[in-house]
Every structure is written in C-alpha cells, then in structure tokens.
C-alpha cells in the first residue's frame, strides 16, 4: 500500500546577539545535550530536526544558526533567503542583547518577506531563564506589548541548559508557518514586494501562543 504522508521542509533562521545561546538551543533541540563551554559560531551552521507533526505529516526543519557578529556584516541577506520562519534570541541576563532584538527584527523584515508582503513568522526567545527568572518575571506584560509592536507571533522564556520551552516554541512557530502557507506564500526579495505591518486581527489570532 502507498503512503500518503505529507512532507514539509522549512528553513528556519536562528538569530540574535553574540553568546545568547542560539547554538545551545539548537543543540538541545536536535541532539538533546548541552555544553557550558562557549565557542563562537563563525558565519553560519546548520542542523536538521525532523518532527512527526501529526499522523500524516512530517516536518523537516532546516535550522540556520547564524553567528551573532553577522548583524554587522553584509551576508545576512544571503543567509535569510527562502527562510519561512525565525527565532530571535536574547539572553535574559544581558539587557543589551534584548535591545538588539528590535535591530535583528528590522534587519530580517527589511531583507525578507513572504510573497504577499507579510514578514516571515518570528518567535522571540528569552533564553537562559534558568539564570534570570526573578529579574524577568515583572516584564511579562511588557513583553506581550513588545511582541505586538514588533510583529512577533509569540515569545517564550527558554533554557537550553534545563530544556525549558524549546519544543513548545518550535511547535508554535511551525503551526504559524503551516497556517501562513494557506495564503500561498513564497519568500521574495522585498525590493519586489514591500513589507507590511501585520494587521491586528492576524496578531490576535496568534494570541494562543502568548504566555499569560
Ligand atoms: N545558564 C545557561 N547558559 C546557557 C544557556 N544557553 C547557552 N548558554 C551558555 O551561553 C554561552 C553561549 O552559548 P552559545 O550557544 O554558543 O551562543 P550563540 O548565541 O550561539 O553565540 P554566537 O555563536 O557567538 O552567536 C555558552 O557558554 C553556553 O553554555 C542557557 O539556557 N542557560
């Protein structure tokens, strides 16, 4: 008997400042391990995660781990090409890395949009929550507001060290990508189609992913 399993291959970007934990999040997600030692990524690195999405769908995530220092280079346009989703990561113990989030998001939206001009789905990850939980608790309301203003579909506190919320964040991103595929979206250069701000009904429909 022939299998009717559907397969999706999605290119996902993992971006954010130096040392915020991008490589560690991917390592935890794909290889189920964690190392406390820091080795800066040079350029870009890749990993593949295969998900049994439901009984008849397999999702392959091609994760592009882009070095933090690349925001200051001119290769991001090349790396972003044909991505359909992104994680933007910051380190809850270093406020400067949160300040850089808006810059990463701007960089992303200025270089990559889907065919109907909508930005690719992006989820914000507040990483190293094993270290900064108490400092961060008071910011939940502000984070929801920040995400709406900057066009993130959701945000999660994560820890690559303690394996917190990484699977959940990924499922949220994938479900948004699958939902947006119904709009026949193909990534194109924004020179052809100008980026648009997500309309509020689109954001509201994502609110299930926002933490309360
Ligand atoms: N406590 C804690 N440490 C973490 C966590 N995630 C990453 N780290 C540590 O933070 C440091 C930097 O992690 P990386 O994953 O290399 O960071 P990166 O964002 O890939 O860095 P670049 O390659 O420079 O862009 C390493 O020493 C990790 O062990 C976490 O969730 N909790």
pLDDT of res. 2 = 53
Q: Is 6 helix (H, G, I), strand (E, B) or coil?
A: strand
Residue 130 CB–ligand 1 contact under 6 Å: yes
Measured CA to CA, the distance from residue 87 to residue 12 in angstroms comes to 7
Residue 46 CB–ligand 1 contact under 6 Å: no
User: Any idea what the CATH number is for the domain that residue 10 is in?
Assistant: 3.40.50.300
Residue 63 CB–ligand 1 contact under 6 Å: no
Domain presence at residue 194: no
Domain of residue 116, residue span: 6-185
Q: Show the beta-strand stretches assigned E in 26-167.
A: 44-54, 57-66, 85-91, 121-127, 154-157
ipTM value for the complex: 0.99
Atom of ligand 1 nearest to the CA of 66: 25
Element (H, E) at 211: none
Domain presence at residue 106: yes
Tell me how crowded residue 18 is: count the other CB atoms within 10 A of its CB: 17
pLDDT of res. 120 = 95
Bridge partner residues of 155 (DSSP)? 124
Burial of 93 (0-12, 13-18, 19+ CB in 10 A): middle
Domain presence at residue 212: no
Domain presence at residue 203: no
CA–centroid distance, 16 to ligand 1, in Å, is 11
Residue 132 CB–ligand 1 contact under 6 Å: no
CA–centroid distance, 20 to ligand 1, in Å, is 5
Residue 193 — φ and ψ, nearest 5°?
-125, 125
Cα atoms found within 13 Å of the Cα of residue 43, Cβ hemisphere only = 3
If one counts the domains in the chain, the total is: 1
Residue 67 CB–ligand 1 contact under 6 Å: yes
pTM of the model: 0.87
Measured CA to CA, the distance from residue 100 to residue 161 in angstroms comes to 22
> Which pLDDT tens digits describe the chain residue by residue (212 residues)?
456 789 999 999 999 999 999 999 999 999 999 999 999 999 999 999 999 999 899 999 999 999 999 988 889 999 999 999 999 999 999 999 999 999 999 999 999 988 777 899 999 999 999 996 566 666 777 899 999 999 999 999 999 999 999 999 999 999 999 998 876 545 544 443 333 333 333 333 333 344 43
What is the best residue among 24, 41, 159 to mutate for testing ligand 1's pocket, by most ligand atoms within 8 Å of CB?
24
Residue 97 CB–ligand 1 contact under 6 Å: no
CA–centroid distance, 24 to ligand 1, in Å, is 5
Any residues with CB less than 8 A from the CB of 105 and at least 6 apart, and which? Answer: 88, 122, 150, 151, 152
């Amino acid at each position: 008997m022939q299998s009717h399993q559907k397969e999706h291959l999605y290119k996902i970007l993992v971006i954010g400042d130096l040392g915020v934990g991008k490589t560690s999040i991917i390592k935890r997600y794909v290889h189920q391990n964690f190392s406390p030692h820091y080795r800066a990524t040079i350029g870009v690195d890749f990993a593949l995660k295969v998900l049994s999405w439901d009984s008849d769908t397999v999702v392959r995530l091609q994760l592009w781990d882009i070095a933090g220092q690349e925001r200051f280079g001119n290769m991001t346009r090349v790396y972003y090409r044909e991505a359909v989703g992104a994680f933007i990561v910051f380190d809850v113990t270093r406020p400067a890395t949160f300040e850089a989030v808006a810059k990463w998001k701007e960089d992303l939206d200025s270089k990559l949009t889907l065919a109907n001009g909508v930005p690719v789905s992006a989820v914000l990850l507040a990483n190293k929550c094993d270290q900064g939980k108490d400092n961060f608790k008071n910011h939940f309301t502000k984070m929801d507001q920040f995400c709406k203003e900057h066009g993130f579909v959701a945000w999660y506190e994560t820890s690559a060290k303690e394996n917190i919320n990484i699977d959940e964040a990924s499922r949220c991103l994938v479900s948004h990508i699958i939902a947006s595929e119904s709009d026949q979206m193909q990534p194109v250069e924004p020179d052809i189609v100008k980026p648009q701000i997500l309309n509020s009904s689109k954001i509201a429909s994502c609110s299930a992913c926002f933490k309360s």
